[in-house]
Structure 1
Amino acid sequence: MTKITASDVNKLRQATGAGMMDCKNALVEAEGDFEKAIEILRKKGQKVAAKRADRESTEGAAIAKVSNDNTKGVAIVLGCETDFVGKNDSFVDLAHKLAELALECSTKEELLAADFDGISVSEKLIEQTGVIGEKIDINAFEKIEAPYVGSYIHAGNKIATLVGLSSCADGADVVAKDVAMQAAAMSPIALDEDGVDAATIEKEIEIAKEQLRGEGKPEAMLDNIAKGKLKRFFKDNTLVNQDFIKDSKQSVAQYVKSLGNDVKVTAFRRVTLG
């Protein structure tokens, strides 16, 4: 029988993240062959993944990363089944590493195919499913590019946001982070009025009309009053029109203009658990 040392077990543990006993058992089964032991652990992950394929991975970590030159950013959600795993340091560390990789990818599919220490990200997720015993998946992938991109991660990694600005003027870092915090806190449905889809607008108009009818307003007046209510809907639910959370006397768009009258928010992305 091949002798398995503590050093062998630790080496395998460092390479895979698997538990000590899982690593020892894999090495025993592989008769000390390191690569074969890794394959055994990955096969275990495949079995666990197959058993848990129908589970919901609604917990996890929402992470945002921005490139060194602040011209592109990515936000992902690494999902798992329980809050306990989602708060685990090694799980959060994995989420950060995947987000770094995602900066160089255009889509979720490209990220899943990317190399992660000699295996694909998809294979790494299966491996970690075997290690953790829960379904793990990339539940969200969002990316933006702009002259200046800022980010924000809400406490506990529950929400991550990205904001693009039309200029990298002095102070853009502070403004972009403030607006990213706004997006996290206020959950806007679109950047501005033009970003709200027609179905949502139609629905809001009908809701407003029904409310007005309930108040006894004349039918001839409904369209004009409903349009006024729609303007309020846009103000409350589109990012640049919302009251700025740090100074409600100005809108987000007005706050951003503190960098210069021509500076605008070009895009935002918001990812959450669930």
Structure 2
Amino acid sequence: MSKKISAENIKELRSKTGAGMMDCKKALEASKGKIDIAIENLRKKGLAFADKKSNRVATEGLIDSYIHAGSRVGVLVELNCETDFVARQPEFHKLTKDIAMQIAASQSVRYISKNDIPEDVILYEKNIELNKEDIINKQIDVKKKIIEGRVNKRFKELCLMNQPFIRNPDINIEELVKQHIALLGENIKIRRFERFLLGEGLEAKSGDFTQEVSNMINNT
């Protein structure tokens, strides 16, 4: 039986490492509640102390691009750090390229994190789930839990930070960024991105030449 992880345990580990709440919870679960092992594991993953840097100003960095084979999908991404020195490091360049490649591969992604999702999109997704036939007759409290679970799942699909890293699915993009914060010693933020799909938003032109000729004759 796995050891139950208390909020106090998580708070203690967070205060000792500066890692995020969910990262602390996962580390404690993996170490069966042993703080020292959890700290060691967080440090190996590069997560310890990363959160302490997350509020520092990051205005340097790179704008990079990725064009997928066949030139039908392209991405522009801006990744920020604190100094020009770190922006020139090969590890930072590789991270930028990896994130651009991740965006190209993530068709559902629209936002960086849940905090970036507009309120109208949140309400829209909740209304969709609220009106699904399979929950109409369920009790209100049960219905609320189902809606919350489904909406949170949908938000994870929409947010870049929640995506499993394509080069290592054992971590997500948020953890990847934290690892580089620990490695390079500066705050790193994905500021913005744009994904381009060839022909997206354009109507396919009809190839019915006979109909076009017929319309021209009828209009003369």
**TM-score w.r.t. length of structure 1:** 0.43
* Runs of 5+ unmatched residues, structure 1: 1-144
- Of 153, 165, 169 in structure 2, the residue corresponding to residue 232 of structure 1 is 153
- From 34, 49, 61, the equivalent of 1:147 is 61
Cα distance between partner residues in 1 of 2:90 and 2:98: 14
* TM superposition shift of 1:194: 2.3
Aligned position for 1:193: 114
**Hey, which of these two has a bigger chunk of strand by percent?**
1
Letter in 2 for 1:180: A
Change (3 A) 1:170 1:259: farther
User: Cα distance 1:267–1:212, how it changes in 2: closer, same or farther (>3 A)?
Assistant: same
Q: 1:198 Cα shift?
A: 2.2
- Cα distance per residue 1:2-44 (max 9 Å; x no partner): xxxxxxxxxxxxxxxxxxxxxxxxxxxxxxxxxxxxxxxxxxx
Give the number of equivalent residue pairs.
130
1:269 matched residue in structure 2:
194
Q: Partner of 1:181: helix, strand, or coil? A: helix
Question: Structure 1 residue 217 and structure 2 residue 170: aligned?
Answer: no
Q: Which amino acid aligns with 2:147?
A: A
Q: 1:219 to 1:212 in 2, by over 3 A?
A: farther
Note if 1:255 corresponds to 2:142. Answer: no
Q: How does 1:81-230 map to 2 (within 5 A)?
A: 147-167=61-81, 168=87, 169-187=89-107, 188-211=109-132, 213-214=134-135, 216-230=137-151
Unaligned runs of 5+ in 2: 1-58, 82-86, 200-220
Does the CA contact (< 8 Å) of 1:146 and 1:164 recur in 2? no
Q: For 2:179 and 2:126, how far apart are their aligned partners in 1?
A: 34
Q: What TM-score results when the alignment is normalised by the length of structure 2?
A: 0.52
Q: CA RMSD in A?
A: 2.2
Q: Distance in 2 between matches of 1:163 and 1:181?
A: 10
Deviation for aligned residue 1:230: 1.9
Partner Cα separation in structure 1 for residue 152 and residue 162 of structure 2? 10
Contact 1:148/1:165 (<8 A) preserved = yes
CA distance in structure 2 between the partners assigned to 1:226 and 1:202 by the alignment: 12
Q: 1: distance between equivalents of 2:60 and 2:125?
A: 32
Q: Pick closer, same or farther for the CA change 1:197–1:170 going to 2, 3 Å.
A: same
* Structure 1 residue 146: Cα displacement: 5.4
What is the aligned partner in structure 1 of residue 52 from structure 2?
none
Q: Which amino acid aligns with 2:73?
A: I
Q: 1:215 to 1:243 in 2, by over 3 A?
A: farther
